[in-house]
Amino acid sequence: MSNLIKNELTKIFKKKTIYITMLLIFLMIVFINCMNKYSNSSTYSAYMYSESYIESLKDELSNLNPEKPSDVTLYINLKSEIDLSNLMEKYKDSDWKLSIINDRISPYITEINTYTYGADKSEEQARKATEEMENIIAKLDENDWKYFANEDLQNANSTIEELNNQKAQTQDTEIIKGLNNEIENAKVEKEIAEYRLEKNIPYGVDYLNIALTRYQTSSETLISYDLDNKELDFEEQKEYNNALTTKEESRYIIETGTDINKSDSLKGSLQYFYSQYGVFIIVVIIMIAGTIVSEEWSKGTIKLLLVKPYTRTQILLSKFLTVLIISAFVIVSTILMQILVGGILFGFGSIFEPVVVYNLSANAIQEINIFAYLGIQTLTQLPIIILLATLAFAISTIFSNSALAITISLLGYMGASIINQLAIAYKLTFMKYFVTMNWDLSQYLFGGLPYMEGMNLITSIIICVVYLLIMLIPTFIIFKKRNIKNI
Amino acid sequence: METILKCESLCKTFGKKQILKNVSLEVKEGDILGFIGPNGAGKTTTIKLILGLQSITSGKVIINGYDIEKDFTNAIKKVGAIVENPDMYMYLSGYQNLKLVANLYKNIGTERIDEVVKLVKLEKRINDKVSKYSLGMRQRLGIAQAILHKPNLLILDEPTNGLDPEGIKEMRELLVNLAEKEKMAILISSHNLAELDNFCTKVCIIKNGEVIETSEISKIKHETSNEVEIFELDNAEKAEKILSIDLRNNKILGLEVKNSRMLKVNISKEEVPYIINKLVENNIKIYEVKQEEKTLEDAFFEKTGGNVIE
């Protein structure tokens, strides 16, 4: 039996096919890594205007007449945008200033233009808005972003105070409930301002600011669920879990200052290994599984094999085990190629950084060594890989047709996510016993909820095994009974 | 002598069509059985049943005392075979192909592989890819992989396809050698009768899925009573005219002028003196009278009645 497997491996490794496909994977890896490196390394800025865009705005503006009632709204919008771009142009070297302009000054610009050109003109109002705006600009020129953070903090504090006062004056439970929600949201804003000051995070668009924003929105989601204080159904629980994960992961980013979602590093590329390379790995494995039996039929060499002192079951089993061994080979060599290419492009240092995930069942942030993480991911993807390889293997054995085997298996792989999405969207509960809903075990990782209510890890594994046997048993029976006709 | 292969009334049907009807044959050690029949007679099917490549509808195949259907691995252990074409892994070298075969049996070392390569005279090209081989070389490689594990039953399906006359002669010598020295039992199918002549020890003729004759090769040739005598004369045309009277009264069954000096006469042995007498009386000089040996081919066509596929 081991000799049969050894022969099968010899046959595969003496063929050019496997080297060509591995070379293609290698080129793909180089391509994807370069994309990651050079698309992210161009510094991302909050300034978003191009000269030609501003020119086109000015052109359009010159064609409009603010006196004409039909033009006036568009005129105000265009004028505001041009004013905003002029201001941003001036401060475009500082991300935090741009953010402040975008968030706090742009409403004033619109206000000024509305009062100057709009239907109810008011010089008084326009002057007031201009004053406010100039105050903020003056602060910008002082180069102190902390002023704004402190202002945020004060605003949040006074909002909380005011809301508490309101709460004390009313007895209406509905109103109190609404106020409580607002108070909690204000507390989050306060928390964010405090984080900004404490962790020294200027305004901007970098990963820390993104984390702050995500922290805020996810916290708000959680607050509304917590205050409702009712039994959550499955979908709500899923949303709640997502918000909780986002909040805790964002908190980790803010507190430690590390970008755990960074993809342009060796660690990052390994962290998202299967979402980037899973499809290539599966294509190669399906190709080998779909040819290993049918090629012997089409070339007539099956006769050589079948007149050797081994039973047909042994011969087919050895081929199936060979497919599994080759699958492991393809996965491991793709990982090694990624480490090599990623290491050369991004440096090998990040390999020691842990992957950070929030574990819902332990209610804690978990730091996992990248190789352990990759191992866990591989285990969760094994059912997909094995089941698709078995599908290709079974079809190629039963119909002696490689093209059919490879096509059907690839369609199955590509169709699976569509099938799953439809099943989830239309709540087709019977689909929870279907293979594609169960074969991706990563849905259960770190206490996550499955695609559908009522699914669990053990039944998913059982369903995958049942599907495996449904494919394998007829394959072995048919192969055993098969007549070798003229080839 | 021990019986190596025994087929007992093999039947095979595909759907409604009966391919084989009660085919029985036996090969003993040291025997070379020529398995002869026109195309479509069922030669390859019989071989596939013997090797367990197709299921047997009814009947039995016993190899070295083991039933091929009940105890496949033991039955096939000492069998070497080429079925239909010598199909090899084209992208591997000849040597790598042999190595793959060697891996599947116990105790086949590199010396045995080298020995077999020498035996089939492929030493010079054994490290080339099989895709560069001619059909004849692939046949030889096919024989090499079939005899690598020293089987005691060798089954060859049309092994002379693609071999040149010298190759055929060499293979004939190789097979005779294997049968005589290694006491191998050999079953060799062919439609090229001329090649099997003088080299098989036994012949089995199959037609339309039925065995119509199994016997020692010498028996087949001498079975029929009428013989052909060849007369060497000074004037064949004249002699033909003289003898054509006897053709009409059935003393002579056939007359044919080969050339001006040769006349072929189909008669029974008893009539030879009468013919000589008559020719001498007519002043025809007789230089030689000899019996023409019947070829296997003649015997074959006599038995099968030509090549008809139904």
Domain count, chain B: 2
Q: Is A230 on the interface with B (CB under 8 A)?
A: no
Least confident interval from A248-252, B173-177, B249-253: B249-253
Same domain, yes or no: B148 and B262: no
Q: Identify any residues that bridge with B5 across adjacent strands, giving them in sequence order.
A: B27, B63
Rounded to 5 degrees, what angle do the CA atoms A87, A92, A98 make? 70
- Verify that B71 and B106 share a domain, yes or no: yes
Bridge partner residues of B266 (DSSP): B228, B254
Partner residue opposite B48 with nearest CB, options A309, A310, A484: A484
B129: which DSSP letter? Answer: B
Q: A386 pLDDT band (50/70/90 cuts)? A: very high
Whether pLDDT at B308 is above 80: no
Domain boundaries, chain A: 2-42+263-481, 45-143
User: What six digits make up the tokens of B187?
Assistant: 């079953």
Would B300 be classed as within a structural domain?
no
- A9 reaches B (C-beta below 8 A): no
Does the predicted model carry a pTM greater than 0.95? no
Contacts of B84 in chain A (CB under 8 A): 300, 303, 486-487
CATH number at residue B282: 3.30.70.100
Quick one: residue B65, left, alpha or beta (phi over 0 = left, psi -120 to 50 = alpha)? left
Query: Is B42 domain-assigned?
Result: yes
Range of the domain at B285: 227-290
For B74-113, how does the pLDDT look when each residue is reduced to its tens digit (9 = 90+)?
999 999 999 888 889 999 999 999 999 999 998 888 999 9
Chosen domain end from B222, B243, B271: B222
Query: For position A332, what pLDDT does the model report?
Result: 94
A12: closest CA among A297, A391, A319?
Answer: A319
pLDDT tens, residue by residue, A25-57: 999 999 988 888 887 544 555 566 777 887 887
- Neighbouring CB atoms inside 10 A of A136's CB total 16
Tell me, yes or no, whether B303 lies in a domain.
Answer: no
Q: Which residues of B touch A2 (CB under 8 A)?
A: none
Strands (DSSP E) found in A64-208: none
Between A101 and A241, name the one with better pLDDT: A241
Rounded to an integer, what distance in angstroms lies between the CA atom of residue B65 and that of residue B63?
5
pLDDT at B191: 74
Find the CB nearest A303 among B55, B83, B96. Answer: B83
**Are both B281 and B215 inside the same structural domain?**
no
CB contact under 8 A, A11 and B100: yes
Q: What is the mean pLDDT of residues A381-402?
A: 92
Quick check: is B113 in a domain?
Answer: yes
DSSP string, B194-245: HHHTTT-SEEEEEETTEEEEEEEHHHHHH-SS-EEEEEEES-HHHHHHHHHH
Q: 3-class secondary structure for B34-101?
A: EEECCCCCCHHHHHHHHCCCCCCCEEEEEECCEECCCCHHHHHCCEEEECCCCCCCCCCEHHHHHHHH
Across A220-235, average pLDDT = 83
Mean pLDDT of all residues belonging to chain B = 82
* pLDDT > 90? residue A473: yes
**Does B239 share its domain with B146?**
no
Q: Considering only alpha carbons, which residue of chain B is nearest residue A487? A: B84
Q: Smallest Cβ distance to B76: which of A10, A307, A483?
A: A307
ipTM score over 0.90, yes or no: no
Residues B132 and B171 in one domain: yes
Percent of chain B having pLDDT more than 70? 89
Q: pLDDT tens for residues B136-163?
A: 888 889 999 999 998 989 999 888 777 7
pLDDT band, very low/low/confident/very high, at B4 (cuts 50, 70, 90): confident
DSSP label at B308?
-
- Asked whether residue B123 is domain-assigned, the answer is yes
- Report whether pLDDT(B309) > 50: no
Q: Please give the pLDDT value at position B310.
A: 36
In a 3-state reduction of DSSP, which class is residue B287?
strand
Range of lowest pLDDT (A329-338, A355-364, B219-228): B219-228
Q: Residue B144 belongs to a domain with what CATH number? A: 3.40.50.300
Q: Which residue has the tokens 């500082």?
A: A94
Q: Is residue B233 domain-shared with residue B145, that is, in the same domain?
A: no
Last residue of a domain, one of B222, B254, B280: B222
